[in-house]
Structure 1
Amino acid sequence: MSGEKLYDAILKGDVTRFREVVQQDPYLIESASFACSRNALHIATLRGQVAMVEEVLNINPQLARDLDSQQSSPLHIAAAEGSLEMVKKLLSVTPEACWWRDCHDMNPIHIAAMNGHEEVLKELLQLNLLAAMERLHRGQTVLHLCVKHRQLNTLKVLVDKFDEFLGAKDDDGETILHLAARSNHQEITEYLVESDKIREFITMDRLSKRSLSMSSKLRSGDRRSLENIKLLQILSTGKTMIEKVAKWNDVAMVVAVLIATMAFQAAVSPPGGVWQEDTPSHSAGKAVMASAHPKIYKHFIRANATAFISSLFTIFLITMNSALPSINLFFVSIAGCAMWVSLAAIGVSYGASLMMTNFMETLSIDHVVAIVVSVFLTVYLSAFLYAFIETMSKKTLPFSLTRDRGREF
């Protein structure tokens, strides 16, 4: 009988009646259990009775740690209801409840995000960011959960805070963009496509490949699906380019360091060595080449200095590009040009060194430059021709081959 009075007082939000019932039986509030094994605080939170929640917490704050039959704490219920004031009151008593998971394996942050309660989500994240990084069923993140339930506002809140989750994949290999495109969430897909943060993390996975192989089967009414698939293609191409540029940076850095080392060593120990003693015609430490072949030595020094300076410039640009939040194509282009200059210059320097030997003594420095330029043009044109043929062969693949490969996914 006392339990029913207590329940009625909570439902009506009658704080005065609630106090009278508790005064008659001080242990009732602690022992009373209602449907789904919920206590008085669960019921007050579920009914949105803010004043009653505060009253129950004043009498027995330990009730905030009780779980109902669904493993939900009062904070789980407040997050689901979207009551910011109740969330604040419950967090002041049990901040650790942000980590607790209910029977659906979700904590209060997941629940607030799933239900689109933006202000509640911000409050929970302000207290605990790490709890939002907990994975859900089948490896999904809280971002996947927002996309799945079409909650764009809470998704925006999370995107601003979790850069490392933007390219995260679930157990099926889907990123949030793939999930949005596959589910025809047009508004969310457009937001993700326009986000600079998202672009750097999106990759083609087996599901997007399967979607591409099925694009020819789309009906005219499925225009949104086709548009989403095209968006995946565009972003996948961008991601591939970013990966290729990153690999190029690594290779270019190794080559630039090697050229700088070679140029430095050639300057310290020039071809032919240095004079060991002072004589009327030369001094100790001076390059033999400078005395024996002054014209060739002058060209050698110029080419060697050019190789050294351009390689250092390449290293500087690649280092600067690595420090930037995103790849700067202008820096990459300049670094590529500088590396080609350093390669050509070290080639000329090598040719000038060979002119000190009998092998190339009949050649002039102009001949050496012509040979180096010819070799470089031949290599460059060969690489360009190979890339062109490779690209054209991919574009002319028969549809049946593409369709058969799509069945693998």
Structure 2
Amino acid sequence: MDKKLLDAAMAGDTAALKDLIAEDPLVLDRALVSCVSETPLHVASMLGHLGFVTELLSRNPELASELDSHGSTPLHVAAAKGHAEIVKELVLADPGVCAVRNGDGRTALHVAAAKGRVKVMRELVRVGNESTRALTDRGETALHLCVGCNRLEGLKVLVEAAGSDDDFVNWKDCDGNTVLHIAVAKKQTEITKFLLFKTGVNVNALNANSATALDILMQSPRDLRDMEIEDSLRGAGAQSAKDVRNIAQDWVRAPTKERQISRHRGSALSSRVSVSMKPAGNKKPTDWLGRKRSSLMVVASLLATVAFQAAITPPGGFWQDDLQVDENGNPVASPHTVGTSVMATKQGKEYGLFMIFNTISFLTSLSIILLLVSGLPIKRRRWMWIQMVIMWVAVTTLVITYFITLRHMSPNDENVQIMLRKVTEISVLTWLTLMVVVFFGNVIRMNLWILRKYGYIKSKEVDDELEEVRTED
């Protein structure tokens, strides 16, 4: 490219461009045929010189379709930089440039989606919905790129442009992943909620590994966002791949409008009642054990962290110096060593209680984590109840540790001690009351479960279905 033309493009100097064209009418044509990496339109589009871009396009519209050394058009460059007005001028000059893919296999809309350039995306979508259907080399739509780069606002623009086209929202990439699979894998809470409740995404779609979005969540490393995402998925009817296949098999085998009530091990009626052959995906699943396992894992991890921190930073801190003898060389009454606990030196009995209860809380929390990740067949309700009891022990001992710490940190002032005693009495009484209520509540639930299991009482779901059958008959 001529140096003067390059300088004019970098400065956005329209007057200089006109002077150059007046001196040499073929200066722009020479820029097209020269072996340079960028045309003056690429440079002006990248730097946002709207007036210079408009003048170039009016003189030579062919510049809009030229490629640089990376296979990018000026539209790719302007879209990446977020220059919406320049994008508008380039599209008016050559609408077909929207479909051109660069060296990475991406169109200008793909680039804008990955960068989160919302205004640019609106301009490109306005040209025609065909550009939104373009795919990358990995079979990804612009939706996949928005979700992969966590661009919620850009995602909303594309969904609005798609309207009622659910096929677009449910498009799968080369790995069979929909945008919901990607959002869940990246733990994007807001995007997951938007896809579930504002679009027609298939919540139980299977990817190339035959996994649903719920399967991906359960197989990923657990963190605090998982519970919120899982609640959203289950609220939208999400199921595991195993459950989806079972429902599909039941749909094929069962006759339309047939009701089946089967007997199980001599009991009066089974809890399984097939009322209609409508897919069960419309019913909210009740994976009680799965939710409990997830909750126990999160809570146990938090308790173990708190207990570990309390052990390495006990109340009162650590001695910062050594004191074994006085200034005359005589042994002191209360010697101490640097790095040892102040509480252990001054209040040995209270320190012993503190460490006992804190250690119990720490080890019981770790035991729950170990059981959950051990792979042992402990997925029955009775095993879950045992782990819940262990959790009660961990929480209770941590509460005791808290009150020991509070007592140690409080001064010996009479008013302070009276207030501390009252607070402790009220708190302990409230805690014991809560524990008793929880204990008897679970005992009642366990008894009801045993009675239903052995047929002494009927399941409420079976009674409801039978009543509906009698009514329709």
Question: TM-score with structure 2 length normalisation?
Answer: 0.50
Alignment-mate amino acid for residue 211 of structure 2: R
Deviations 1:106-128 (A, max 9, x none): 01111122222222212212212
Structure 1 partner of 2:239: 237
Residues 212, 239 of structure 2: 8 Å contact kept: no
Q: What is the aligned-residue identity percentage?
A: 30
Residues 82, 112 of structure 1: 8 Å contact kept: yes
Residues 200, 242 of structure 1: 8 Å contact kept: no
Aligned length: 274
SS at match of 2:53: helix
The 1:212/1:119 distance shift into structure 2, 3 A limit, reads: closer
Indicate the larger mover: 162-171 or 139-148.
162-171
Counterparts in 2 of 1:80-95, with a 5 A limit?
Answer: 80-95=80-95
Residues 208, 229 of structure 1: 8 Å contact kept: no
5+ residue gaps in structure 2?
Answer: 274-284, 291-371, 380-473
Structure 1 partner of 2:436: none
The 1:211/1:202 distance shift into structure 2, 3 A limit, reads: closer
Structure 1 partner of 2:211: 206
Counterparts in 2 of 1:43-54, with a 5 A limit?
Answer: 43-54=43-54
Provide the C-alpha distance between the structure 1 equivalents of 2:199 and 2:172, rounded to a whole number of angstroms.
Answer: 18
The 1:243/1:211 distance shift into structure 2, 3 A limit, reads: closer
Provide the C-alpha distance between the structure 2 equivalents of 1:207 and 1:244, rounded to a whole number of angstroms.
Answer: 14
Residues 204, 213 of structure 2: 8 Å contact kept: no
Matched, 1:380 2:385: no
Structure 2 partner of 1:177: 180
Provide the C-alpha distance between the structure 1 equivalents of 2:82 and 2:178, rounded to a whole number of angstroms.
Answer: 27
The 1:31/1:82 distance shift into structure 2, 3 A limit, reads: same
Matched, 1:5 2:4: yes
Provide the C-alpha distance between the structure 1 equivalents of 2:69 and 2:192, rounded to a whole number of angstroms.
Answer: 37
Alignment-mate amino acid for residue 18 of structure 1: L
Structure 1 partner of 2:144: 144
Residues 140, 170 of structure 1: 8 Å contact kept: yes
Provide the C-alpha distance between the structure 1 equivalents of 2:192 and 2:68, rounded to a whole number of angstroms.
Answer: 37
Q: CA deviation at 1:139?
A: 2.2
Counterparts in 2 of 1:50-129, with a 5 A limit?
Answer: 50-129=50-129
Residues 215, 240 of structure 2: 8 Å contact kept: no
Q: CA deviation at 1:149?
A: 1.0
Provide the C-alpha distance between the structure 2 equivalents of 1:402 and 1:77, rounded to a whole number of angstroms.
Answer: 57
The 1:84/1:93 distance shift into structure 2, 3 A limit, reads: same
Matched, 1:20 2:19: yes
Alignment-mate amino acid for residue 86 of structure 2: M
SS at match of 1:146: helix
SS at match of 1:69: coil
Provide the C-alpha distance between the structure 2 equivalents of 1:151 and 1:47, rounded to a whole number of angstroms.
Answer: 24
Relative to its length, the structure with more helix (as a share) is 1
Alignment partner of 2:195 out of 192, 197, 200: 192
Provide the C-alpha distance between the structure 2 equivalents of 1:88 and 1:123, rounded to a whole number of angstroms.
Answer: 6
Counterparts in 2 of 1:325-344, with a 5 A limit?
Answer: none
Residues 32, 39 of structure 1: 8 Å contact kept: yes
SS at match of 1:7: helix
Q: CA deviation at 1:385?
A: 2.1
The 1:214/1:243 distance shift into structure 2, 3 A limit, reads: closer
Alignment-mate amino acid for residue 385 of structure 1: S
RMSD after superposition: 4.0
Indicate the larger mover: 190-199 or 76-85.
190-199
Deviations 1:143-176 (A, max 9, x none): 1100111110110111221421222222223221
5+ residue gaps in structure 1?
Answer: 256-335, 341-378, 404-409
Structure 1 partner of 2:153: 153
Provide the C-alpha distance between the structure 1 equivalents of 2:249 and 2:48, rounded to a whole number of angstroms.
Answer: 53
Provide the C-alpha distance between the structure 1 equivalents of 2:204 and 2:128, rounded to a whole number of angstroms.
Answer: 25
Deviations 1:221-242 (A, max 9, x none): x211454355445542399789
